[in-house]
Each structure stands twice: as structure tokens, then as C-alpha cells.
Amino acid sequence: MAAKEQRSSGAGDPARTLELLWRTGGGVPENRRGPRQGLTVDTVVEAALGLADEGGLDALTMRAVAQRLGVTPMTLYTYVPGKAELLDLMLDSVLLGMERAPFAPGRAPWRERVTAVADANRALYLGHPWLAELRVHRPPLGPGVMAKYEYELGAFEGLGLDDVVMDSALSHVLGFVQSAARTELEARAVDRESAMSDHEWWDTHAPLLERVLDAERYPLASRVGEAAAVAYQGMYDPEYAYAFGLARVLDGLAALIPPGPRGPRD
């Protein structure tokens, strides 16, 4: 499969992937040494993460990982069966290493707890932009995924929600964060490719727009667009968009929480 096409988690051999994720005896042992002293499954994953962080998923090939490690591709396959399994290992690794702000269910206000979860996931996407390119419909069930899920469910524990609603509420929050992060990363890419910031772009185009736009014909677009452009200092402000959207997500979740000491007023 071509490098551009392999962008999904859970596409490898399930048994081999789980063995590698949990470092059990059925896969390649964690301490197995190859022709190059010190090479392990972890060093392979670390090299792959470096390539993906630097150049996105397009830069990630088994040959490129082997070159970075100074081994042949065939040697690499001794540790990881293929790119599909490697993507699962990479994803689980970054999830295991996520920052997790400590909170005690039932003590810190629920909005504060959910916000901590959202902020951590946003930081993850912005720190590893390739994650936004990866389709994760079937996440690898490794220690990173399970630790993340356990921690994030704690943000909803003790609110009177049943288990299915807790899972759905978490998925809703994470879906918003992923969408917001993708939009922000796309805006950053446009800035890089155009060699012009959003603010600079607006400064260039605003005078031209004023000459051709009929404010009487488009009164709402003119009024609201100008107010937004001034507030955003351009066409888009990722910080504002994220804060505004997350607040609306939390407002919606509040309707699910039964009134009480830890209810919607928190």
C-alpha cells in the first residue's frame, strides 16, 4: 500500500498488533537486539514519531524509518511487521505520554475537568499534527489508549450519567477538539504556504474589498464581517474559536446532568 494511502489505525494484523502494543511474548520482545546494537521496538517507534512530527504521514515510510535508524528495511521488519502496525504503535505511544492534569471526580467542578481533557487533546494535536491526518475509527487497544480512556471518563464520573451517556459525552467533546484542531492546523498551513499571516492577508485585501463591496446590498455581511475581522485581527482566531466552541459544548452537556450538588451549576 502506498504511503499516502496508509492513514488508518487498526488496519494491521490484530493479534500481532496487540502483542506489540502490550509487549507480550508472541510478538517481537522488547529487549530483542538486531544487527544494530540497541535497536528495539521502542527505538523504531521513536524514529517513526520523529519522521511524522517533522513531515507528516507522507514522510513516514518503512524505508525512511530504516534509513533514520541506519538499518536495512528487512531488519526493520524484524521488529514491526509493517506500516499499519507501526501507526498503531505510534498512536498508542503518544497517547501514553500525554499530559494528564490530576483531578478528583466529584471534587473539582465538572466543567473544569472536561476542559482539562479538551485542552490536553488540543495540545496533543498541535504538538503532533499528523494525528489530525490519521483516521482512528478503530483505535489500537494498547496501554496508551486504555490509560487515556480511563482518565478521561473520570471527568464525567459522579455526575449521575449512565455509562453509555458518559462514553457518548466524551466522544462528543473529543470530536469537537479534533475538528477545531484540524481547522487551526489548516490555517497554519495556509500561513506557511502563502508566506503571509492571516492578519497580513486581511490588511492587503480589506481595502480592495471596501472598493467593490456594496454595503447596502449586503448589510449583514458588511456589518458582522467587519466586526469579526476587527475582533479576530484577521479572518480567523483559533484561540477564540476554540474557547467559544468548547463553551457551547459544555453548555450542551450541562443539560444532561441531573440537578444536584455537582449538577449544571458547577
The neighbouring-strand residues paired with 135 are 8
Q: Max Cα separation, the chain?
A: 74
Element (H, E) at 13: none
| C-alpha closest to that of 10 among 94, 121, 90 | 90
| C-alpha closest to that of 257 among 104, 109, 103 | 109
Q: What are phi and psi of 107, to 5 degrees?
A: -110, -70
Domain extents in the chain:
14-96, 110-254
User: d(Cα 83, Cα 13) in Å, to the nearest integer?
Assistant: 11
User: d(Cα 66, Cα 188) in Å, to the nearest integer?
Assistant: 30
**Cell 489548516 sits on residue:** 186
Q: Which fold has domain 14-96?
A: Arc Repressor Mutant, subunit A (1.10.10)
Show pLDDT as tens, one digit a residue, over the chain (266 residues): 344 457 888 888 889 999 999 998 644 444 444 455 569 999 999 999 999 999 999 999 999 999 999 999 999 999 999 999 999 999 999 999 998 888 776 678 999 999 999 999 999 999 999 999 999 878 899 999 999 999 999 999 999 999 999 999 999 999 999 999 999 999 989 888 888 877 787 777 777 777 888 888 999 999 998 898 888 887 889 999 999 999 999 999 999 998 865 544 46
Residue pair 234/199 in contact by the 8 Å Cβ criterion: yes
Residue pair 107/59 in contact by the 8 Å Cβ criterion: no
| pTM, full prediction | 0.87
| pLDDT above 90 as % of the chain | 64
The neighbouring-strand residues paired with 8 are 135
Q: Convert 161-177 to b/e letters by CB count within 10 Å (16 or more is b).
A: beeeebeebbeebbebb
Determine whether domain 110-254 maps to CATH 1.10.238.10: no
